[in-house]
A and B are shown apart, each in its own frame.
Chain A
Amino acid sequence: MNWAQVVRALILFVLLSPFAQAGQITLSVDDISSPAFHAKAISATLDGPDFSHFEARIGELSLRDRTWRKVRLTCVKTQWNNGVIRCDQGELDLGEKLPVRFVYQQQSKTLALTLDFPRGETWQLSAQWDKPGWNVRVEARNGQVARLAGFLPQGGIRPTAGTWSGSISLDGGHTGVGNVTVDAVFKELAFADTSGLHAGEKIAGGVRCDASRREGGWIWRGEVDWKSGEAFWQPLYFADGRHRFAGQGSLEADWLRLSQGSLRLAGVGEAQLSGAWDRAGRGLTDFDLKAAGLDVAGLYPTLLKPFLEKTAFAKLQAKGGADLAWRYRDGVTTDFDLSLRAAEFVDEDQRFALHGVNAHIPWSNKEERQAELSLQSGEVLRLALGETRVPLTMRGWQFGAPDFSVPLLDGRLNIDGFTASRNDGDWQWRFSGGLAPVSMERFSAALKLPLMQGTLAGIIPAVSYVGGNLKVDGALLFKVFDGTAVVKDLSLHEPFGRVPRLSATLDMRNLDLDLLTSAFSFGNMQGRIDVSVAGLELSDWRPVQFDAKVASSPGNYPKKISQKAVQSISSLGGVGAAAAIQRSFLSFFEQFGYERIGLSCALRNGVCLMDGVEPAPHGYVIVKGGGIPAISVIGYNHQVSWDELLERLKRVTQKNVKPVIQ
């Protein structure tokens, strides 16, 4: 039995039933079913004067996923007149007792029902079901959205607070719903899923949407105006509103399509969208996006940063302008065209910075394309980069660049044969090149080292980056302090990771001690030295292990050591000869001759195991005297904590600080 039949039966009972004379009519129905609802154990009673007292009971009423039990509708002043049933003062008991008014007109088959809640909340249901069609309209004023929660699918997003005003209309025929129209505004809306990963609070805005059934599905058109309020949609967070979406598309058995859409995000910009979502399980398969004039300062924190938390780009200050066109087909990006204008990316951990970035990257996964990148200035690991332009050839995820150079401090880093590729989501790249002279003054100042003189220049053999490891094949050759430096077996693991790890072997020959010692205000020394550092390992840019050795270079050259240098060396070795100088006639001399110098340090577990050119009673010789006046410096501490040694070095190399003689 359907609902209309029940109502018709009631009216017939009132008008015709012989029981009417007895002053009471009772009707019982076991079950009523329709596609929209299901009701069981229904009974209706009419009694009182002119049958004005009406009471209906439903044992169980189900509407979509929501079920009420012991539903009761009573009306003490029911009016029956020419096929019209009117109740101006009724009560609906849905667990919560609600004032209700309704009018039913049998002729036109219309029902108008109004529920009045406290605090000005009103819900109105009007329905009309005459052949060939029917319509239902729900209107609300300050309606609590939480009342709709029970009508939504389990496990999804549910409204938890807030109100709405507006209307929802459905109409259709015997085949089902034909049109749906929604026009609603929200205040203080809150919603959430059970995990809390998709939620919104205090949202104000409006939704307008209409959908019509067509052969094979629905076509729809909608607008969402999010005026204020916050929302978290893992991993994105929108602190405030002023966002807007408008679009139209279709809904088919397995597909939700957006044929044309426009999304405006406050602080970011506006984008034109279209796409297709496979409801059968593949998710987003096709997507097109075009956006011009995006603000990188808003784009980065809102949409990019949350996806970059585990990368070197997780903490950037970004600004500039961007245009983007993105084409995605069958689950694969086929084209994108990114332009950056006057952009800046500055790492908050000061590992790198790029200023004045302009780029045009028209990428395709099938065709070869040319990209152009340029920056006005930058910085990598505190080393300043100058204006650079890089033309790039792209063949899918294979990138290549002709030889180009990057100004580095006052020199130039020449990069030859740069190639990069992306495999299984991981980038790898390689290049070779050279370093045109960089002044040691600029280099040492940039790295906050004591000012050094000379130049840094060299050849860079093949450098490759694979799986987070940067590796230099062959040897890096540099000219420093009028000598040569060779860096071999250089590899750098996760250079921008949490704990960068470097390993290398360093071999320096024929360094001019005069230049070296003047750089460190160590006390003047003249001569030449060789420095070798084998098995060097740095972790987080600090040494963990090495075998270092400093020794006089072979050959004939003047060998002089100043009194201050003697004191500095003595300080490094602990108790030394400095005190002896001060106590003896040697203090009259500013400089001494020496035959050779040698000092070694094997760093293990934070301790430097020290040795010199040869053993000495209770120690080792660091400077072996020679010539007139000559002096030998003896070290007595074979084991010195690395931190303590650094502290001593710091003390003796700082200007205007007197060496500490122990």
Chain B
Amino acid sequence: MYSQILRLWMAVLLLWMPLLAFAAADLEINTPAIGSLKTTMQQRHDQLAGHYASGAVGLTRNGLVAVRDATLVPLAQRQAVNGLVAAENQDRQALYREIARANGHPEWEDEIRATFAQRWVQKAASGWWYQNQSGVWVRK
């Protein structure tokens, strides 16, 4: 009986190990590359903020951004918004990769991305659109 309980606890512990290990990841870690990425993302945010607010661009469930409704963007700007979204996603993917590397665990990239996906939604202003866990667009 005791051995069964012990095995059960061991199994529970093993299941939680990766999460416990990930919990130690420093998401605020800073390196020159992370600093550079954050700077360009902040600069780009000024251009994207209006499109988040209008609902043209939304936050995806995998920590990226996507054109949600192109009709909300004037025709002449649609291509530029595509470019902004592509550049933002390149930076975001690089950011997750760099944070994982800076923590000494490149394999944590997916978990860091998932954590950031939640963070972006939490930090999003009211009225912005995001994808819920089912991939459905929801207005905050």
By a CB distance below 8 angstroms, the chain A residues around B47 are: none
Known: A192-B71, A196-B69, A499-B98. A544 touches B33 (CB 8 A): yes
Between B33, B71, B97, the greatest number of chain A beta carbons within 10 A of the residue's beta carbon is seen for: B33
Q: Tell me the chain B residues, 76-93 only, with Cβ under 8 Å from chain A.
A: 76, 78-79, 82-83, 86-87, 90-91
Q: Answer whether residue A309 sits at the interface, using C-beta atoms and an 8 A cutoff.
A: yes
CB <8 Å contact, A539 and B78: no
By a CB distance below 8 angstroms, the chain A residues around B36 are: 499, 540
Q: Answer whether residue B25 sits at the interface, using C-beta atoms and an 8 A cutoff.
A: no
As a 0/1 sequence over residues 14 to 51 of chain B, the CB contacts with chain A under 8 angstroms (1 = contact) are 00000000000000001111001100000000000000
Nearest-neighbor residue (CB-CB) of A301 within chain B: B79
Q: Answer whether residue B75 sits at the interface, using C-beta atoms and an 8 A cutoff.
A: yes
Between B30, B70, B97, the greatest number of chain A beta carbons within 10 A of the residue's beta carbon is seen for: B70
As a 0/1 sequence over residues 167 to 200 of chain A, the CB contacts with chain B under 8 angstroms (1 = contact) are 0000000000000000000000000101111011
Q: Tell me the chain A residues, 494-524 only, with Cβ under 8 Å from chain B.
A: 497-499, 501
Q: Tell me the chain A residues, 253-292 only, with Cβ under 8 Å from chain B.
A: none
CB <8 Å contact, B90 and A310: yes
Q: Within the assembled complex, what's the spacing in Å between the Cα atoms of A314 and B36?
A: 19
Known: A196-B71, A197-B70. A499 touches B79 (CB 8 A): no
CB <8 Å contact, A196 and B37: no
By a CB distance below 8 angstroms, the chain B residues around A194 are: 71
Nearest-neighbor residue (CB-CB) of B36 within chain A: A540
The size of the chain A interface, using a CB distance under 8 A, is: 30
Q: Within the assembled complex, what's the spacing in Å between the Cα atoms of A289 and B55?
A: 40
Q: Within the assembled complex, what's the spacing in Å between the Cα atoms of A310 and B91?
A: 11
CB <8 Å contact, B76 and A237: yes
Nearest-neighbor residue (CB-CB) of A542 within chain B: B32
CB <8 Å contact, A232 and B32: no
Cβ-neighbour of B75 out of A230, A498, A542 (below 8 A): A230
CB <8 Å contact, B73 and A237: no
Q: Within the assembled complex, what's the spacing in Å between the Cα atoms of A498 and B38?
A: 12
Q: Within the assembled complex, what's the spacing in Å between the Cα atoms of A197 and B66?
A: 13
Q: Answer whether residue B53 sits at the interface, using C-beta atoms and an 8 A cutoff.
A: no
Between A192, A498, A543, the greatest number of chain B beta carbons within 10 A of the residue's beta carbon is seen for: A498
Known: A237-B78, A306-B82, A498-B91. A606 touches B30 (CB 8 A): yes
CB <8 Å contact, B82 and A498: no
Q: Answer whether residue A239 sits at the interface, using C-beta atoms and an 8 A cutoff.
A: yes
Q: Answer whether residue A235 sits at the interface, using C-beta atoms and an 8 A cutoff.
A: yes
Q: Within the assembled complex, what's the spacing in Å between the Cα atoms of A378 and B23?
A: 48
Q: Answer whether residue B94 sits at the interface, using C-beta atoms and an 8 A cutoff.
A: yes
CB <8 Å contact, A497 and B94: yes
CB <8 Å contact, A499 and B86: no
Known: A237-B78, A310-B86, A539-B31. A499 touches B37 (CB 8 A): yes
Q: Within the assembled complex, what's the spacing in Å between the Cα atoms of A290 and B44?
A: 40
As a 0/1 sequence over residues 196 to 221 of chain A, the CB contacts with chain B under 8 angstroms (1 = contact) are 11011100000000000000000000
CB <8 Å contact, A235 and B98: no
CB <8 Å contact, A309 and B76: no
B residues in contact (CB < 8 Å) with A: 30-33, 36-37, 69-73, 75-76, 78-79, 82-83, 86-87, 90-91, 94, 97-98, 101-102
Excluding A237-B76, A306-B82, A498-B37, 5 further A-B contacts by CB distance (< 8 Å) are: A195-B71, A199-B75, A237-B75, A309-B87, A499-B37
Nearest 7 CB-CB pairings of A with B: A196-B71, A196-B70, A542-B32, A539-B33, A237-B79, A540-B33, A309-B86
The contact sample of 8 A-B pairs, CB cut-off 8 A, is: A195-B71, A199-B71, A230-B76, A498-B91, A499-B98, A543-B32, A544-B33, A606-B31
